[in-house]
Amino acid sequence: MDKLIKTKEFDIIIIGGGATGLGCAVDAASRGYKTLLLEKSDFSKGTSSRSTKLVHGGVRYLAQGNIHLVREALLERGRLLRNAPHICHSSRFIVPAYNWWQKWFYGFGLWFYELLSGSLSLGKTRLLSYKQVLNYLPEIALKNLSGGVLYFDGQFDDSRLSINLAQTAIEKGAVVLNYCGVTDFLKNGSSIAGVKAKDETNGNEFSIAAKVVINATGVFADTLLQLAEGHKDQTISPSQGIHVVVEKHFFKGSVGMMIPKTDDGRVLFAIPWHNKVLIGTTDTPVSEISPEPKPLKEEVDFILKHFNRYSTSEIRYQDIKSVFAGLRPLAKLDGETKTSVMPRDHVIKVLPSGLVHVTGGKWTTYRSMAESAVNKAVRSAGLTFFGCQTKNLKICGFADNQVNTSLSVYGSDALHIQKLIDGDDSLKEKIHPLFSYTKAEVEWIIENEMALTVEDILARRTRLLFLDAKAAMEAAPLVARMLALQTGKDEGWEIKQVKSFSLLVGNYLIRNPH
């Protein structure tokens, strides 16, 4: 805030602290531009904490013939795994086949997928026998199983990467604020000359001048676009995707499974994630855009039906530990209502007001989207052009050759957390008996990761809410106490935090609808 107040004019203001906005902030700051990022809620509160956690080219887009998108994403996959190895890693996936034709068909497709990644290939695609599939996936449905295909893709922790991107942008000189939303634009005639913003923690409002503004607010982008342009055009078709999380014993082994064709013609993944299994996703057109989208019963049914079709260990409603929904900011196609066929490419436009509007895309391609968006912003504002620096930029937390422990997701910061534990026995204590998260992590997060609420800590710094909603609720009072003590808040604030978190948890719990 101090730095913001002291800066007379920024070169670039970025609105939105999801994958796209944070990518733009890292890109702009590392080129040397005076950069400000404003996020209304917490970093990755929107879609960017609710993905399938894949760093991938998108096998499905290959089937749709979108080779350009797949090739670009595979290139970016390689870069991300190289620049953030502490948070992104290579994983094996199996596509089960129920006749010889499927096996060769998927085998060929996935071989081509690997070929497209060129020297950034993560490993060789190969055909598997019936017995080999069974070794990898002990719970696979056996009737008519003829074998399968093994291929490699990337996996990551989305909201942890967001925090590392915010840290990287700050390290490169950007001002990066969460809980600070843009409410309006400053204008010079019809051209945008900055933004009006509100500090959501105390209601203070202020105006900030900038040479150019980037709108990276995902599914919320149309609200700002309409404010900037003074019309009611809609550019986004939101599509909801949900995931359910269950215990590991429903899907043993360390590989993921891709179900190649669901009843609505898409793919479905079951992926080991933080010692649980993440299953998803769906593609449901929605009209309401909310920061907390709600999973629909038919979406949960859809996921259970497809998973149970491929597995001998049946999942029921009561087995679900957490369920979460996210909204895809798909670029609208005139006359098209089916969101599953809408392109996943990103769209970047410079609008008549000068606002740079960026939507669509994927987490995997956040870096290349940011590069293009900043290029456009710099040119449209007539700023001196400096080239992109992010292709080989190590992301904060970078640590290769790391030993795999529960602290690995913190990358190089794991050392500092370990020091806290070594220096104070009480910080070894877990925040929930069933999970490895310790008080030391919470203390570190509060001091170093800009977490302001219980939700920030339990949903996006640790992933407890996404892994087990009931456990997250049980951990909330302790986390609220630590947060209040460390930030000097009173008991009333602490009680309010627990209350509002409990309300939120309701969205992630399955209340048996049968």
Ligand X SMILES: Cc1cc2nc3c(=O)[nH]c(=O)nc-3n(C[C@H](O)[C@H](O)[C@H](O)COP(=O)(O)OP(=O)(O)OC[C@H]3O[C@@H](n4cnc5c(N)ncnc54)[C@H](O)[C@@H]3O)c2cc1C
Give the angle subtended at the CA of 362 by the CAs of 360 and 367, to the nearest 5°: 100
Q: In whole angstroms, give the CA distance from residue 403 to residue 421.
A: 17
Cβ 348 to ligand X shortest distance, Å: 12
Give the nearer residue to ligand X in terms of CB position, either 126 or 294: 294
Q: Which residues contact 319 (CB under 8 A, 6 or more apart)?
A: 246, 247, 250
Helices 366-381 and 67-83: crossing angle, nearest 10°?
A: 100
Is the Cβ of residue 224 or residue 414 nearer to ligand X in the bound state?
Answer: 224
CB of 193 to ligand X, least distance (A): 17
Phi, psi for residue 316 in degrees, rounded to 5: -115, 170
Question: Which residues are at the interface with ligand X (CB under 6 A)?
Answer: 15-21, 38-41, 44-48, 50-54, 56, 181-182, 216-220, 224, 241, 281, 326-329, 361-364
Nearest residue to ligand X, scored by beta-carbon proximity: 18
285: left (phi over 0), alpha (psi -120 to 50) or beta: beta
Nearest approach, Cβ of 263 to ligand X (angstroms)? 18
Quote the tokens at residue 202.
Answer: 């105390």
Instruction: Tell me whether residue 49 or residue 125 sits nearer to ligand X (CB atom).
Output: 49
d(CA 468, CA 460): 13
Nearer CB in complex with ligand X: 35/102: 35
Shortest approach of ligand X to residue 198 CB, angstroms?
A: 9
> For residues 102 and 339, which CB has a smaller minimum distance to ligand X in the complex?
339
Could you give the CA distance from residue 82 to residue 393 in angstroms, rounded to a whole number?
A: 9
| Smallest separation, CB 304 to ligand X (Å) | 17
- Is the bond preceding residue 281 a cis peptide, omega within 30 degrees? yes
CB of 181 to ligand X, least distance (A): 4
Compute the least distance from the CB of residue 369 to ligand X, in Å: 8
Cα dihedral 141, 145, 149, 153 in deg (nearest 10): -10
State the minimum distance, in angstroms, from the CB of residue 255 to ligand X.
16
Kind of pairing between the strands at 88-97 and 256-259 = parallel
Task: Give min distance, CB of 152 to ligand X, in A.
Answer: 15
Q: How far apart are CA 271 and CA 275, in angstroms?
A: 10
At 104, list the tokens: 């060769």
The C-alpha atoms of residue 355 and residue 164 are separated, in whole angstroms, by 27
Q: Are 331 and 345 contacting, i.e. CB atoms less than 8 angstroms apart?
A: yes
- 469 and 245 Cβ atoms separated by less than 8 Å: no
**At closest approach, how far in Å is the CB of 3 from ligand X?**
18
Q: Which is nearer to ligand X, 58 or 354 (CB)?
A: 58
Give the N- to C-terminal CA distance of the chain in Å, as an integer.
50
Q: Which is nearer to ligand X, 70 or 133 (CB)?
A: 70
Distance CA 148, CA 128 (A): 5
Side-chain half-sphere CA neighbours of 163 within 13 A: 26
